[in-house]
A and B are shown apart, each in its own frame.
Chain A
């Protein structure tokens, strides 16, 4: 018995069989569960966008999403339009409605646009799509929700930011792939997201300034809304910097849209 398992030939055959068995087992699990996983991710996106838009009935501190059984209906009724901007080098090449975009892209819904892929396209000097979801917040204000994506300490972080026509934040949602629990992972806590409410992205003159997640803030309750700062999380400097960076970088891309909006309104 001992001799049999010590032989090189046995070892090699064992390794091959093991790899084949485990490999096919994993492949089988992954492919058979894929439809469920894709569906879960799709509903999560809708929940996140609705949350940022501020249409949820929330409790005191916990985040309450729209339930998975009616998220599709809520999404179709609360999100009145999904715009897609095609931009290159800070200029809008084309502005598409949901219908125009879906006709041009085999019926793909704009909210399913992969932001990571679009960022790579921009990095390679190609034009990219910027989705923008239009709806009405609980206070009855017209809000525009933009997806953003960046890097935290360990892995990707992303989120949705709802702004009004003046680019004043009306709601946010942040999430992460693998930030440290209790530290960076707290960007998806309600108390952090709520701090952004009412913060401005533009200066009085209309220049894009963004919002910084600032350490040593003199305003921990975040009462001052025109300082372009929110209070940082203790022990999560790099994740916080990542949040500031993605807000500055990704939301700035939408500036031409809001400038146009302003001109049209005047």
Chain B
């Protein structure tokens, strides 16, 4: 069995598909719309949330018996905000280039509903190890959707992946552009992310009937 029991494994794998934070719980939509115009930003955001949610869940879980229930939301907010600020400062001091890439995400991480959602729904009622796995699982589930959306938006909107042109040069009219293909600038607009998320939800539910609500 090793490190992970069957139940523990489920904590990680469940949020990847059947209980995905974006497509099933419909949390974290705001950042999914804002930053998925390119794949690189999606990846960076995914990693940032992975870190904050993993560590934050453990901190909240360790504090779960001493947090007064009346002010628990504020306590959760302080924990995530403090965590994010500390990480941001450390990066600014020791990995300045990386911190510049991340700067815009810092605010978005604090407001990401997945983080507060997992603190409230899971970490407050479970032990640190389980909470850690739950955090990692949900962050991965979030990252997967972000990457799928980012892939389609960047490919169809700019004709690039991770900033590398894959469809030819739109100005020189090489590659697929030579037969009249054009980039769809509309894909770069936030509403298209919502439409892609909608399509993912449609595909997922048509494959797994158990997810359809009556």
Query: Which residues of A pack against B, CB within 8 Å?
Result: 1, 5-6, 10-11, 14-15, 18-19, 22, 25-26, 29-30, 33, 36-37, 40, 44, 154, 177-183, 185, 220-221, 234-235
Contact = CB atoms under 8 A, between A and B. Distances in A.
A78 B145 CA distance: 47
B198 interface: no
Q: In terms of DSSP, what is the predominant structure of the interface of chain B?
A: helix
Interface residues of B, number: 37
A44 B100 CA distance: 11
Given A1-B65, A33-B92, 7 more contacts: A5-B66, A15-B74, A18-B78, A36-B93, A178-B104, A182-B37, A235-B185
**Most chain A beta-carbon neighbours within 10 Å: one of B41, B70, B94, B157:** B70
B93 A33 contact: yes
B154 interface: yes
B143 to A, nearest CB: 15
A40 B104 contact: no
Contacts of B89: 29-30, 33, 37
30 contacts: A5-B67, A10-B68, A11-B68, A14-B67, A14-B75, A15-B71, A18-B78, A19-B78, A22-B78, A26-B82, A26-B85, A30-B89, A33-B89, A33-B93, A36-B94, A37-B89, A37-B92, A44-B96, A178-B104, A178-B107, A180-B34, A180-B35, A182-B35, A182-B38, A182-B153, A182-B188, A183-B188, A235-B37, A235-B185, A235-B189
A37 B93 contact: yes
A112 to B, nearest CB: 17
Contacts of B40: 181
Interface in B144-168: 153-154, 157-158
Interface string B180-196: 00000100110000000
B171 A221 contact: yes
A121 to B, nearest CB: 27
A64 to B, nearest CB: 12
Contact of B69 (A6, A25, A154): A6
Contacts of A5: 65-69
Contacts of A11: 68, 70-71
B86 interface: yes
A234 B188 contact: yes
Contacts of B69: 5-6
A25 B82 contact: yes
Nearest to B34: A180
